[in-house]
Structure formats: C-alpha cells, structure tokens
Amino acid sequence: MEIAGNVAVVVGGASGMARATAEALAGMGAKVAILDLPSSAGDAVAKEIGKGTTFHPCDVTDFDGTEQALAAAVQAHGALHFAVNTAGGGAARRTLTKEGPHPLDEFQRVIDLNLVGTFNLNRLQAHHMSRNEPDEAGERGAIINTASIAAFEGQIGQVAYTAAKAGIAGMSLTMARDLGSLGIRVNAIAPSLFATGITQGIPEEFEARLTKDAAFPKRMGRPHEYARLAVAIFENPMLNGGT
C-alpha cells in the first residue's frame, strides 16, 4: 500500500525502534498515532514529529484500556492501515535457581506483556483494518509485530522472554492465513541486539564484547535500521506471513 495519506499506529512509539519508525512513516506522508505508556515521552515525541502526529496513552497489559486507546487513535485519524507493535520486555530468571523454581506469576507477566498484549493489539487492529476499502491490489492493511533473536536463540535466563517472542514469531503465518481473505498482511521483525533502551549509549568496548560473535556488521543495530525494514515490509505486498 501507499504510505502517503494512510494511517499508521505505532505502539511503543515514544522511543527506540518504534519512534524511528513513526518518524520515517510521518516523513513519508503517513498520518501517525503513537501509543505508549502514560509515563512515556509520547506526547513530546508526537509534537516533535509534528505533521498531525497524535499521542494516545496506553499500557498493553491493560487489555480494555488498549482497546480504548486504539479506538481513539482511529477516531483521530479516520482509519487504520499500518500497525507497528514493539511494546515488550523480559525478566532475567532461570528455570530453576538456588532460591527455587521460576516464579509462575513472573513468567505469566512476561507472556502477558509480550505475547498476549501483541495478540490483543493484532485482533483489534485487524478489526479496524477490515473496515477499509481495499486498494487496487485488494489490500486493506498490514501489521508488523516485534519478535526477537531470542525466539530462535534464547540465552540463559531468558526462558519467559524466549517463550513470548517465539509465540509472536509463530503467529505470523497463521494470522496471515486468517486475515488473507480480507487483504490484511502480517509479518514480524526479530531484531538481535539493538542500541535502544538500556543498551543505548553504552561504551564502544562493551558493545564490541556483546557483538563479537556477529557475522557482520559487528555492532548493535540502530533504530533507523528497524524503521527501514518496517517501511520495506509495508511497501512490498509480497512480504506476508514471515518473520
């Protein structure tokens, strides 16, 4: 679909990869709505991006509140064509430690934040997209979720995060098949180490240690590189059902 003139909702858009994506889409003429935590810099970021960008406070673990925030974003811009979902997080905890088994409530919290939160967004986003008139190619919308390299190569202490991100990757093809008759595509991006959040601005020598086993380039990814891939997925109708 054409990006210019269409509406994008970017969840987690107050910072990092999602902010870079919101900036890229707005720069290409999309109408952008940022959803992020009430405590985030979302309002300031929306004003900084300009071009009619709006901010809608949202905690993805508040499932009813998420529905309301998404509806407000759609009402503000009149439709929904593109969705980027990056909200998530993990917990450093092994399956078993000297203190005992991995706390079940902590595992559930990570699953709710990453996997259930993403699916809740997807089902609601798809519902809004289904109301669009299809373009000349029959497309009504496109969804991008954020998995992780941990979905395929999880490290010690990442069991909950790995399970959640593997679930996000696993949803791509099935959901694409579910929504294909409506002209809605679904893909996921699985970043490795990116310079966002706690890794942003770390010393170069520490970054070199973290990425020493990378093939190329031997550095962390940059937020604008995620954004470039998101834009490519939106613009290429043959990309569907993949991670």
Cα–Cα distance for residue pair 184/234, rounded to 1 Å: 11
The residue type found at 45 is V
Choosing from 161, 194, 226, 234, the catalytic residue is 161
- Whether the CB-CB separation of 243 and 147 falls below 8 Å is answered with yes
Residue 187 to residues 5, 31, 47, 176, 199, Cα–Cα distance (Å): 22, 21, 29, 8, 25
Task: Look at the block and give the residue holding tokens 């008139």.
Answer: 133
DSSP state at residue 143: E
The verdict on whether 161 is a catalytic residue reads yes
Beta bridge partners of 57: 36
Cα–Cα distance for residue pair 171/200, rounded to 1 Å: 29
Does a cis peptide bond (omega within 30 degrees of 0) precede residue 217? yes
Cα–Cα distance for residue pair 178/41, rounded to 1 Å: 35
Tokens representing 29 are 């003429």
Cα–Cα distance for residue pair 207/121, rounded to 1 Å: 33
Q: Return the active site residues.
A: 161
